[in-house]
Amino acid sequence: MFRKILNTLKRGLVKIGLLKSIEKISDHKDVSANEEMFEKIEVWKNLYRGYHKPFHHIEYKTIDGPKQRTMMTLNMPKAVAAEMASLVYNEKCEISIDSDIISEFIDDIFKNNKFDKKFQDYIEYMFAHGGMVIKPYVENDRIMLSFVTADCFIPVSWRNDTIHEAVFPFEFKKRDKKYTHLEWHLWEGGVYVIRNEVYESQNGVDLGVKVSLKEFFPELEEEVRIAGLKKSIFSYFKPNTANNIDTQSPLGISIFANALDTLRAIDTTFDSFHREFRLGRKRIIVPAHMVKVVIDPQTGQAHRYFDDTDETYEAFGTGDMDDNQIQDISVELRVEEHISAINAFLNLFAMQTGFSSGTFTFDGQSMKTATEVVSEQSKTFKSKQSHENIIEAGLQELIDSIVAMGQLYGMVNAPDEYEVTVSFDDSIAEDKGADINQQTQLVSAGLQSKKRAIMKVQGVTEEEALEILKEVIEEEKMQSPDLMELQAQNTLFGTKE
């Protein structure tokens, strides 16, 4: 009851001007944030969702007055973020730890938190929004993982792109008012401090005034002090792309941050392509008197020359038109022109987002992603490896934070030193056609044995390759016994590797 009275008193003080309301989080005395970065994050979020008002809201005039509509979209931000995320992290990715104790401990935590699925989702959000955070915490004597998107993370202090302190804002509504929960992660004299605050906004726009935490989160402490930690327990992930919006910020940028004009051009062209069919549908002009209702004098029934529900026919009354003439005014659809334009913009967009030209194509029915393999020299593969480097470092930091918390709460007895390695799926770099051609040429030139070629192309062991080679020789002997027998002996016993 006292807390409710205190909250009411604070609201009254704000109204009469004795207590100042905080307009935004960056006005808080402990935060110095670049507003432009968070405005950009909102733009990237909207584009990822598929609707950004400056891009997709269209107002136009008709003979019936002004109207508005939503532009059609290919939603390429979603497509490009999902494609890069699937290349970088998928079910074939393996995390290895050289300590069995820590490996079992981490595997159990990842399994309980459904890490693989959630991490894949948030890696996609990371590429779209410019970053994401994983924050371990203890609940019911178990370590849980909290996944946070870029819009709910504000750095407070950092050094060389390593963020040491931050605040996590979370907005929620209760009745008709907006509240903001701020979770601070700070360092004070070598002690890690987590503070929780709740602010109430009167108008739904500003941050508002600080109110009682226990009224909304009775299970949370206002302050938790943790001694013994060497680094912050949250891990920040971002695309490996230089931030050209704020070069002094440790925050990352979306992989399509520098392709907004191209995105707008793609959606504009796709919208025009869609309207080409709607506005250019077949039309036939007929004299107005032909679509009028005619009463049969004998039966008294009404008749029309044309079906009144058929949209193909348009009545046109004019003295310049032959009274009985019917005209087809169907226009030619510019299908190929639109498809070519969309593909041109898609190639430009692929280049701007780190993909090889031709990765995304539009065939007039749907947008497709290239399924052919990618060589190690391709731009897609180089971008993939670039992002993997920073994601691997983030995973290593995350595991270190989990182990530190596990030791702090007596959940695991970890060794002083251990090594974490991440093996990403590089099967995308295997160009099978090129490998087969190369191995065939090497065998023909006498620079490679057939056994070694089989091992390389089919990915089998030496014993399996010999079995395959024997089967091939047996089949060839059936076709030409004498010649094949000699070749078989040379292959198995005479060829040096």
Per-residue pLDDT of the chain (497 residues; tens, 9 = 90+): 444 544 544 454 444 444 455 555 555 555 555 678 889 999 999 999 999 999 999 888 876 678 898 999 999 999 999 999 999 998 888 899 988 899 999 999 999 999 999 999 999 999 999 999 999 998 888 999 999 999 999 888 888 878 999 999 898 888 888 898 999 999 998 899 999 999 888 777 777 888 889 889 888 899 999 888 889 999 999 999 999 998 888 999 999 999 999 999 999 999 888 877 666 555 656 565 555 666 767 777 766 555 545 545 555 555 555 555 656 555 566 778 888 899 999 999 999 999 988 888 887 666 666 555 466 568 888 899 999 999 999 999 999 999 999 998 889 888 888 899 998 877 666 556 666 777 788 888 888 888 888 887 777 788 888 888 888 888 777 766 555 555 555 655 555 44
DSSP state, residue 364 = S
Give the residue among 288, 279, 207, 178 at the shortest CA–CA distance from 31.
207
Pairing of strands 360-362, 367-369: antiparallel
The answer on 178 and 78 residing in a single domain is yes
**Identity (one letter) of the amino acid at 463?**
E
Q: Is residue 387 part of a domain?
A: yes
The answer on 322 and 301 residing in a single domain is yes
Q: Is residue 230 part of a domain?
A: yes
The answer on 152 and 301 residing in a single domain is no
First-to-final CA distance of the chain: 86
Give the residue among 51, 49, 246, 73 at the shortest CA–CA distance from 128.
49
Q: Is residue 487 part of a domain?
A: yes
Q: Is residue 155 part of a domain?
A: yes
Q: Is residue 115 part of a domain?
A: yes
The answer on 441 and 391 residing in a single domain is no
The answer on 389 and 457 residing in a single domain is no
Q: Is residue 208 part of a domain?
A: yes
The whole domain housing 459 covers 431-494
The answer on 446 and 416 residing in a single domain is no
Rounded (10°) angle between helices 115-129 and 35-49: 110
Residue written as token pair 């005034």: 209
The answer on 435 and 459 residing in a single domain is yes
Ramachandran sector of residue 228 (left: φ over 0; alpha: ψ -120 to 50; beta: rest): left
The answer on 317 and 454 residing in a single domain is no
The total domain count for the chain is 3
Q: Is residue 340 part of a domain?
A: no
The answer on 449 and 410 residing in a single domain is no
What is the predicted pLDDT for the residue at 265? 95
Strands (E), 71-227: 94-97, 132-139, 142-149, 154-159, 162-174, 177-188, 191-201, 209-211, 223-226
pTM recorded for the entire structure: 0.74
The answer on 225 and 107 residing in a single domain is yes
The answer on 290 and 229 residing in a single domain is no
What is the predicted pLDDT for the residue at 5? 44
Q: Is residue 353 part of a domain?
A: no
